[in-house]
Amino acid sequence: MVKLIANTPCGDLLPRAIGTVSLDEVIVDQITFVAPFNGQQKAVSDALKAAIGIGFPAPNRCIGTGPRAMWCGMGQALVMGASCPDLAAQCVDQSDAWAIVKVHGVDAAAVLARLTPLDLRASEFKRGHTARTLIGHMTGGITRSGAQSFEVMVMRSMAATLVHELTQAAENMHGRETSLR
């Protein structure tokens, strides 16, 4: 009989520390895609707030630190880290669909700048800001989670590619800084 072994999306590829940047996998037990039915966004937001303490996020925002709600498209959000209550919305479990990597350290924004067209300066892309964007040649999302930290999300099937791209960008940054000394 075949014995199945559960693996995280990034498996044994992370953690990594390269120069001033660290890459760590973020494991979220529950991720639910939520798209409120027409005219129901306020009701959905109120139900989420009552059940898990956070409402429906505004465009390009991520709210909450434990359970959280992350905007992911017009009228759409990902509720992460908590089960959704009964909502007037389309709700789809996507718990196994995403790979999430935390990129943190002094050069985190500079590393990501090599992979995305977003302006990640702290003055423009503040904590709690999130955007769907290109990451290398992949479509994904970037959220600022702290002064020098970001969470990068791609579909699970692209996890190894994401780790490779982030590693390459961090190694290039580190090599550049080392050669300038």
pLDDT digits (tens, 9 = 90+) for 93-142: 999 999 999 999 999 999 999 999 999 999 999 999 999 999 999 999 99
- Could you say which of 93, 114, 140 is where a domain stops? 93
20 in the same domain as 101: yes
Alpha helices by DSSP H, the chain = 41-52, 108-113, 159-180
102 in the same domain as 60: no
Q: Which amino acid is at 159?
A: A
Q: Which amino acid is at 150?
A: F
107 in the same domain as 20: yes
Q: What is the pLDDT of residue 4?
A: 87
89 in the same domain as 136: no
Residue 180 pLDDT level (bands cut at 50, 70, 90)? low
Q: How far apart are the first and last CA of the chain?
A: 57
Other residues' Cβ atoms within 10 Å of the Cβ of residue 84: 21
Q: State the pTM of this model.
A: 0.94
Which domain does 69 fall in, by range? 31-93
174 in the same domain as 106: yes
CA 46 to CA 54: how far, in whole Å?
8
- Could you say which of 93, 126, 147 is where a domain stops? 93
Residue 179 has pLDDT above 90, yes or no: no
Q: What is the pLDDT of residue 167?
A: 98
Alpha-carbon distances, residue 121 vs 8, 19, 43, 55, 109 (angstroms): 31, 20, 35, 27, 7
Secondary structure (3-state) at 78: strand
Q: What is the pLDDT of residue 181?
A: 63
139 falls within a domain? yes
CA 156 to CA 94: how far, in whole Å?
10
* Nearest by Cα to 28 from 97, 115, 131, 120: 97
7 falls within a domain? no
4 falls within a domain? no
118 falls within a domain? yes
100 in the same domain as 35: no
Which residues have CB under 8 Å from 176's CB, separation 6+? none
172 falls within a domain? yes
For residue range 59-91, list pLDDT tens digits in order: 999 999 899 999 999 999 999 999 999 999 999
If one counts the domains in the chain, the total is 2
- Host H or E run for residue 3: none
Q: Which residue has the higher pLDDT, 179 or 95?
A: 95
> What's the CATH number where 137 sits?
3.30.1360.120
Residue 1 pLDDT level (bands cut at 50, 70, 90)? confident
Report the percentage of the chain scoring pLDDT > 90: 91
Tokens encoding 124: 């423009």
- Could you say which of 48, 66, 93 is where a domain stops? 93
